[in-house]
């Protein structure tokens, strides 16, 4: 018997879930360190450009395709054209691979909440060593990762409205409040101005081609685009919701959290004379040092911050898991629970490998990098941007314009004044733009064999598309 498709219980629930997916490690962990590594303000301006020009339009398209077909990524493509199944499968694969390292970092955030009270901050100079020793140790990070993953499993197994939606509704407001508290604290530190000008006064001399790819990749990652996540979330949406409006809200929430995270960190960082280009360790090494300098209340603020990081990560990895689960439910007719438990066991194994690649197994490499970097580079630098480009080509060139208009105006009952603009961006601008940025960027990936492997996966999927 056909089961009725699960649905979001309310508009606010959908928005919180979609924003929960978007707002994640990408905003609080990645955005600040990418900004620091790419010279500050100029990166932010280019990033915002990518969000407005590419991100907004793609998100509208993903919601539209999902709601129209009422199916998750693969099924949605398949409904229109079997030859395109591969684009959906590529998305599911991206979600699966991101879940090969994301919960590892999620586990670090959990550990840091506890560690905030148990000696992380006592000797500021030692924080870097504590972090290095922790992520490199063979057992502890894996245990925290498993705890983290278990929370995800619990939420996703409960289903769309009783699990994912409820978690978003409760957690997202808490995240905002915690981040605001830390931001205000950071801004009141004497000497905070230097950090603000680093963030908001662009220095164009530091911009290279790589800056553009980094910004584009980050826009996709941060907005959860290019892998069918928003198609899947759109498929649980009822026909009354206004897609363009909701997209604008979700994108604004995501962007504001990224900027807030920047404002929470950089002023304090500069005030204490620390290094902005610290890389992926920025949040886990530099930020605790800021809290350590605050004295007695430091541990409390530190815990606030890492709870916020944990929440942000959680509502995102839930969506990544859901993409895989929804695929198995829609396409393989699997039960939600079975699909959730099954996929997460495999993800746990991938994550354990990722975690070990930072320490005990650092000598073991695939295509020149450890497992952690392998999953990260493959998805961020290759799969997401290509996935987004495929979606734009599919929507712009293979779907009927009238159908899209019908979907975006809810059957003509509301107006979407920018429809033509949106359509032309999707059809012409995005394919060309991503085509250029992705080609230049992908060709510049240092690990040539990894780059070839990534492209090969896409080609093989495309060849066997009809069988997928
Ligand atoms: N958007 C999430 C973040 O910023 C990551 C993510 C990517 C989630 C793709 C779902 C899909 O952390």
Question: Three-state secondary structure along 400-438?
Answer: CHHHHHHHHCCCCCCCCCCHHHHHHHHHHHHHHHHHHHH
- pLDDT at residue 182, as a whole number: 85
- pLDDT at residue 1, as a whole number: 42
- Paired tokens of 330: 């829609």
What mean pLDDT comes out for the span 265-289? 84
99 located within any domain: yes
pLDDT of 379-399, one tens digit each?
988 899 899 999 999 999 999
- Best residue among 19, 21, 152 to mutate for probing ligand 1's pocket (most ligand atoms within 8 Å of CB) is 21
Q: Tell how far the Cα of 240 is from the centroid of ligand 1, in angstroms.
A: 26
Residue (of 305, 31, 299) closest to 180 by Cα position? 305
pLDDT of 181-234, one tens digit each?
888 888 888 888 999 999 999 999 989 888 888 898 899 999 999 999 999 999
- Paired tokens of 273: 């004379």
- Best residue among 224, 308, 324 to mutate for probing ligand 1's pocket (most ligand atoms within 8 Å of CB) is 224
Residue nearest to atom 11 of ligand 1 (CA): 224
Specify the pTM. 0.93
What mean pLDDT comes out for the span 364-375? 93
Residues with CB under 6 A from ligand 1: 21-22, 24-27, 98, 221-222, 224, 227, 229, 316, 319-320
- For the chain, give the percent of residues with pLDDT over 90: 75
- Best residue among 33, 72, 320 to mutate for probing ligand 1's pocket (most ligand atoms within 8 Å of CB) is 320
The phi and psi torsions of 366 (rounded to 5 degrees) equal -115, 130
Q: Would you call 224 helix, strand, or coil by DSSP? A: coil
- pLDDT at residue 380, as a whole number: 86
| Greatest mean pLDDT among 161-170, 279-288, 415-424 | 415-424
Among all chains, which residue has been given the structure tokens 């990722």? 354
2 located within any domain: no
Q: Tell how far the Cα of 411 is from the centroid of ligand 1, in angstroms.
A: 31
Q: Tell how far the Cα of 105 is from the centroid of ligand 1, in angstroms.
A: 13
Q: Please report the atom of ligand 1 found closest to the CA of residue 22.
A: 1
456 located within any domain: yes
* CA 141 to mean position of chain CA atoms: 21
Q: Is the pLDDT assigned to residue 90 strictly greater than 80?
A: yes
Distance between CA atoms of 251 and 52, rounded to whole angstroms? 9
Q: Tell how far the Cα of 254 is from the centroid of ligand 1, in angstroms.
A: 10
Q: Could you count the other beta carbons within 10 Å of the beta carbon of residue 366?
A: 17
- Paired tokens of 406: 């019908």
374 located within any domain: yes
- For the chain, give the percent of residues with pLDDT over 70: 99
Residue nearest to atom 9 of ligand 1 (CA): 224
Quote the number of domains for the chain. 1
Q: Tell how far the Cα of 25 is from the centroid of ligand 1, in angstroms.
A: 7
Residue nearest to atom 7 of ligand 1 (CA): 224
Q: What does pLDDT average to over the chain?
A: 92
- pLDDT at residue 267, as a whole number: 87
1 located within any domain: no
383 located within any domain: yes
Residue nearest to atom 6 of ligand 1 (CA): 224
Q: Tell how far the Cα of 318 is from the centroid of ligand 1, in angstroms.
A: 10
Residues 72 and 66: beta-carbon distance below 8 Å: yes
Distance between CA atoms of 144 and 92, rounded to whole angstroms? 25
Residue (of 90, 114, 99) closest to 25 by Cα position? 99
Distance between CA atoms of 138 and 143, rounded to whole angstroms? 10
Length of the chain, in residues:
468
Residue nearest to atom 10 of ligand 1 (CA): 224
Supply the angle between the helices 85-98 and 73-80 in degrees, to the nearest 10: 170
6 located within any domain: no
pLDDT of 37-86, one tens digit each?
998 999 999 999 999 999 999 999 999 999 999 999 999 999 999 999 99
Alpha helix positions (H), 188-297: 193-200, 209-222, 229-235, 243-271, 287-292
CATH number for the domain including 179?
1.10.4160
Q: Tell how far the Cα of 2 is from the centroid of ligand 1, in angstroms.
A: 31
* Domain membership of residue 409 as a residue range: 11-467
Residues 111 and 139: beta-carbon distance below 8 Å: no
Residues 261 and 32: beta-carbon distance below 8 Å: yes
What's the DSSP call for residue 5?
P
279 located within any domain: yes
Q: Tell how far the Cα of 271 is from the centroid of ligand 1, in angstroms.
A: 31
- Best residue among 17, 18, 19, 26 to mutate for probing ligand 1's pocket (most ligand atoms within 8 Å of CB) is 26
């Amino acid at each position: 018997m056909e089961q009725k498709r699960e649905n979001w219980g309310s508009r606010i629930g959908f928005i919180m879930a979609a924003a929960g997916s978007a707002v994640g490690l990408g905003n609080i962990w990645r955005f600040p360190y990418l900004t620091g590594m790419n010279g500050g303000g100029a990166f932010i301006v280019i990033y915002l450009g990518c969000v407005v020009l590419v991100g907004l339009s793609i998100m509208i398209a993903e919601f539209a395709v999902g709601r129209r077909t009422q199916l998750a990524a693969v099924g949605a493509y398949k409904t229109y054209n079997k030859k395109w199944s591969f684009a959906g499968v590529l998305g599911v694969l991206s979600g699966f691979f991101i879940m090969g390292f994301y919960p590892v970092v999620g586990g670090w955030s959990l550990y840091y909440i506890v560690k905030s009270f148990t000696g992380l901050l006592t000797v500021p100079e030692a924080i870097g060593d504590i972090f290095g020793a922790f992520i490199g140790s063979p057992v502890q990070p894996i245990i925290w990762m498993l705890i983290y993953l278990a929370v995800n499993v619990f939420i996703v197994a409960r289903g769309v409205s009783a699990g994912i939606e409820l978690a978003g509704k409760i957690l997202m407001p808490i995240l905002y409040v915690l981040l605001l508290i830390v931001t205000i604290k950071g801004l009141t530190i004497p000497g905070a101005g230097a950090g603000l000008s680093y963030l908001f006064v662009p220095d164009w001399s530091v911009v290279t081609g790589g800056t553009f790819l980094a910004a584009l990749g980050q826009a996709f990652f941060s907005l959860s685009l290019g892998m069918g996540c928003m198609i899947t979330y759109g498929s649980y949406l009822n026909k009354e919701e206004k897609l363009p409006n909701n997209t604008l809200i979700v994108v604004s929430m995501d962007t504001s959290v990224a900027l807030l995270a920047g404002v929470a960190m950089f002023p304090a960082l500069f005030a204490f004379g620390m290094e902005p280009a610290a890389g992926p360790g920025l949040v886990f090494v530099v930020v605790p040092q800021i809290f350590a300098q605050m004295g007695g209340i430091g541990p409390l603020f530190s815990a606030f911050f890492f709870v916020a990081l944990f929440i942000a990560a959680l509502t995102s990895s839930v969506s990544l898991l859901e993409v895989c689960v929804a695929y198995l439910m829609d396409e393989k007719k699997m039960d939600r629970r079975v699909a959730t438990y099954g996929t997460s066991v495999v993800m746990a194994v991938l994550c354990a490998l990722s975690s070990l690649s930072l320490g005990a197994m650092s000598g073991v490499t695939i295509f020149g990098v450890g497992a952690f970097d392998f999953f990260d580079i493959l998805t961020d630098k290759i799969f997401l941007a290509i996935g987004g480009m495929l979606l734009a080509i599919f929507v712009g060139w293979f779907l009927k314009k009238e159908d899209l208009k019908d979907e975006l105006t809810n059957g003509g009952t509301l107006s979407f004044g920018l429809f033509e603009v949106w359509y032309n961006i999707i059809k012409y601008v995005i394919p060309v733009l991503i085509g250029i940025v992705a080609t230049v960027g992908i060709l510049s990936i240092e690990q040539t064999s990894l780059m070839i492997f990534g492209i090969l996966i896409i080609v093989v999927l495309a060849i066997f598309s009809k069988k997928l």
